A and B are shown apart, each in its own frame.
Chain A
Amino acid sequence: MRYYAYYPGCSMEATGLPVEKSIKAIAKPLDLEFIELEDWTCCGSSPFAGVDKSKAIGITARTLAQAEKTGLDLVTPCSSCYTILQEANDLLKEDHKLAERVREALSAIGLSYNGTVKVRHIVEVLFNDVGPAGLAAKVVRPLTGLKAACYAGCQQVRPSYGFDDSEYPDWLDQMAQSLGAEPVNFPLKARCCGSSLVISESDVALDLIHRLLQNAQDNGAQCIVSTTCPLCFTALDVYQPVVNGMFKKKFNLPVLAITQMIAIALGLDIKASALDGNVVSPQKLLKPFLTSKPQADKAETPA
């Protein structure tokens, strides 16, 4: 069993809930344990940094300090949190003046941070600590022939923190392939969905989401396998009907978080993949897999 400090991020408690459920479900079968930080607070995301960066970093530092106490790697499924935690971690090492002020602020709440935390994205953990081969070894329901456009989005791979390729990443593709699926070419796989403007400049964001969906469909995808980021996942799934209305399109591309896909391929109980939380229903597309008998040799013995 491998242990990690876990930081879900606020969106995982709302729009990202289906992804969160699938993460919880696949952890144990993959010999991972994600220990949620106690009483965590928001990461101090980019809108906050746009209001006041120093304060935003102070807020982020609380999470880093909490994680440091556990002595474990800090893992998050939210690409936005990932970038923010990484950036703050770097800045607190490079910008001594800022670090000093943050140190004072933290001491006022009885915390300190010495810069030792390693921040990791859950997709990177799945890829490096479990690996495509490790996944393949546990597959009992191969998703054979399922054509998938794998979407990494932006902040998982940019700015790059040693994570995959920042222009044309393929870690998600490799993992989807190890589950039996067939990744298609997807040129826009690391382009932005505009999620941060989906409320205030919705036309701009919907235009970007439209391009992503069109590009996936044009390349023959039957579904999109997305990163675990609740914001990316929501943009493609929840806003798909809105894009259809606005651009007079009929996209029906189910969006599966990679962790939902893993839950299915591992043959876990249907509740584990939390597919009922998806707005674009994947039930019909996945029916052949969900009703197929798990391959007996690898199936888990029922408890």
Chain B
Amino acid sequence: MGDNAQTTFLDEVAALPACDKINQCIQCGVCSGSCTTAMHWEYPPRKVIAMVRSGLKDELLKSNSIWFCVSCYLCTTRCPLDIKPASIVHGLESIALKEGYKPPTTTTTMYRTFSESIVNNGRIYEFGFMFKYYLQTNPLAALKMLPTALKLLVHRRLPLTPKRVKGKADLRIIIDKLSAGVGK
């Protein structure tokens, strides 16, 4: 990777919503020390930020890091410089998905099926989304979930048909409009 490519990755990230302060990070490590799931990340949050700034795009986006973020926002409330590491992490996820990276996790598929469910139904249709997710990843794992699904059914907490909302047509239009043109 040349100098050019390096600048591009940082710029690409800094241009995402709520990611513009990435350059001011002082690498204090409060985010990594606070992170709920840091023990599972190949590179914890502070390193993720350092890697973006060093242009190590492939190494970072091929790793399992970022996909373990549970959006607990401990990093974000504790960061002394208001860098918003959680926003950066979710921004990186969108770059990885858009550019077809294949990190070692099925969370990518979960995100995709979840988002499709929103677009197709206007609201999340939990049963349909989970069904699709398992079908696309590991149908056998669905068996392990069966007792839980049954409990939800018995307690009438898992409707088997999606709600029909008219607003879903609106969502399509909004998404189309925001697909065209500037920004990523």
Contact = CB atoms under 8 A, between A and B. Distances in A.
Which of A50, A83, A194, A239 gathers the greatest number of chain B CB atoms within 10 Å? A50
B183 A277 contact: no
A60 B137 CA distance: 29
B175 A55 contact: yes
A201 B105 contact: yes
B165 A50 contact: no
Which of A53, A102, A155, A241 gathers the greatest number of chain B CB atoms within 10 Å? A53
Contacts of A91: 17-18
Contact of B152 (A48, A196, A238): A238
B70 A105 contact: no
B97 interface: yes
A155 B66 CA distance: 18
B97 A50 contact: yes
Interface string A36-76: 00011110111111111111011101100000000000000
B158 A14 contact: yes
Given A42-B124, A51-B115, A101-B178, A14 B157 contact: yes
A58 B122 CA distance: 13
Interface string A1-30: 000000000110111111000000000000
Interface in A253-288: 276-279
A300 interface: no
B68 interface: yes
A158 B77 contact: yes
Contacts of A17: 156-157
Interface string B84-123: 1011001101100110000001110111101100100011
Given A55-B175, A55-B178, A196-B71, A47 B110 contact: yes
A257 B164 CA distance: 28
Contacts of A51: 93-94, 97, 111-112, 115
Which of B148, B173, B178 gathers the greatest number of chain A CB atoms within 10 Å? B178
B123 A49 contact: no
B109 to A, nearest CB: 7
Which of B130, B170, B171 gathers the greatest number of chain A CB atoms within 10 Å? B170
A49 B174 contact: no
A108 B173 contact: yes
B107 A101 contact: no
A208 B72 CA distance: 12
Interface string A147-170: 000000011001110000010000
B167 A194 contact: no
B155 A279 contact: yes
B109 A200 contact: yes
Nearest to A279: B151
B133 interface: yes
B73 interface: yes
Given A51-B111, A54-B17, A105-B173, A46 B167 contact: no
25 contacts: A10-B123, A14-B152, A14-B158, A39-B166, A46-B90, A47-B111, A50-B97, A52-B98, A54-B17, A59-B175, A104-B177, A105-B173, A105-B177, A105-B178, A108-B173, A108-B177, A109-B173, A158-B72, A159-B73, A159-B76, A196-B70, A200-B137, A201-B68, A242-B147, A277-B156
Ranked nearest first, the 9 interchain pairs of A and B with the lowest CB-CB distance are A105-B177, A192-B72, A158-B73, A50-B93, A10-B124, A200-B110, A41-B167, A47-B114, A200-B107
Given A52-B98, A200-B110, A277-B156, 7 more contacts: A39-B165, A52-B178, A54-B17, A62-B167, A154-B73, A159-B73, A194-B70
Interface of B: 16-18, 36-37, 40, 67-68, 70-74, 76-77, 84, 86-87, 90-91, 93-94, 97-98, 105-107, 109-112, 114-115, 118, 122-127, 130, 133, 137, 147-148, 151-152, 155-159, 163, 165-168, 170-171, 173-175, 177-179, 181-184
